Amino acid sequence: MGRAEEVVSMLPQHRDVIVVGASAGGVEALRTLIAGVPGDLAAAIAVVLHMPAGGTSALPQILRRFGNLPTVTASNGAPLRPGTVYVARPDHHLVLIDDEVALSHGPTENGHRPAINALFRSAALSLGPRVIGVLLSGVLDDGVAGLVAIKAQGGLVVVQDPADALYPGMPENAIRNVAADYVLPAAEIGPLLGTLTKENSVEPASSPSSLLRLENEIARDQRTSTDYQANGVGVSSGLTCPDCQGVLSELTSADGRYRCRVGHAWSVEALLEAQGGVFERALWTALRSLDEKRNLAERMCRDARQRGNERLVERYQQMADEARQAAGVLRAHLTGLPASPEPTGDG
């Protein structure tokens, strides 16, 4: 680095990039936040809201109607312009590379694409102390690891007050795991951002960890099949990925997070939730199989009776009764309703 570049790098910088993440209840929180942002904001805003992979998002139109800033759907390679809001596209990670927007189809994180962590990590790695990270209403803990990265790289962390959030899970997890600089209702965050972006950033960025660089490359779809153990940042967990059933590595320099070789990422809470969903789907599959077994056994019982074979009638009726009883217990567990006796078959 030359003397002139060194002097420039030491000059105070404005915090001119704001990254915002939200999930359940996030539309209301985002609408309130954006409505309070001043029209002369000297910073770009990038927004990720968890959304289904298919279809389109009306979020840009919603925020445009309630806010004072131009709001656009993020497009690959677009420059980050102060006073503009960039909204993630469905089924694409929104990441920042220096002062540009980038889209990727990298592996899901906590079952989401776009994922909040992917945006937050990329901003922390590329822009360091210029970044303000904002986490709003939602369940579980997507975005928390990203806030940790933003804080480590000299950025500021703002969290919606859980008492103000429709779904307080994400804000509560953030407050437990990150030393948030501000915890405020959504209505107060917009004006705060106007103030913070006028201040100089004085905290230098620390050297990014190898894990931060690696995870950012995965989100950008540059490393889609990574051996975390070989890279020294993971150990085999003995658990499987709910998305692809691959073996999960536990990331050794992170707090309770996992990655599979494909790159799917999971926090402990999201993994537990997803495994619960896998288990429930398996139970429903088992219930369907028991109902089909009962129906088939009853059909065979009727056929055996018509042929006058009482030995087979007894055998098939017993199989039908056993399947009926097992299905009743399983159905009661899945629905939360008491098992009701069903009439026995024709036998």
pLDDT (tens digit, 9 = 90+) per residue, 203-221?
A: 666 788 888 888 888 888 8
Looking up residue 155, the CATH number of its domain turns out to be 3.40.50.180
Helices (H) and strands (E) in the chain, counts: 10, 15
Domain match, 94 and 229 both: no
Domain match, 179 and 304 both: no
Q: How many domains would you assign to the chain?
A: 3
Q: Structural domain of residue 283, as residue ranges? A: 271-335
**How many other C-beta atoms are found inside a 10 Å radius of the C-beta of residue 254?**
19
pLDDT at 347: 40
pLDDT at 5: 36
The reply to whether 231 falls in a domain is: yes
Domain match, 321 and 196 both: no
Domain match, 149 and 76 both: yes
Domain match, 91 and 188 both: yes
pLDDT (tens digit, 9 = 90+) per residue, 57-87?
A: 899 999 999 998 999 999 999 999 999 999 9
* Burial letters 260-271, b for 16+ CB under 10 A, else e: bbebbbbbebbb
pLDDT at 21: 98
Spell out the alpha helix ranges (H) of the chain: 3-10, 26-36, 59-66, 116-127, 144-152, 169-177, 186-196, 210-219, 268-306, 310-335
The reply to whether 214 falls in a domain is: no
Domain match, 182 and 150 both: yes
- Beta-strand pair 93-97/100-104: antiparallel
* Three-point CA angle 145, 146, 150, nearest 5°: 120
Domain match, 37 and 185 both: yes
pLDDT at 41: 96
Domain match, 248 and 312 both: no
pLDDT at 237: 79
Domain match, 194 and 302 both: no
Domain match, 37 and 112 both: yes
Query: Which residues are the active-site residues?
Result: 23, 50, 142
pLDDT at 61: 94
pLDDT at 238: 80
The reply to whether 83 falls in a domain is: yes
Which segments in the chain show pLDDT lower than 50?
Answer: 1-11, 225, 344-347
The reply to whether 68 falls in a domain is: yes
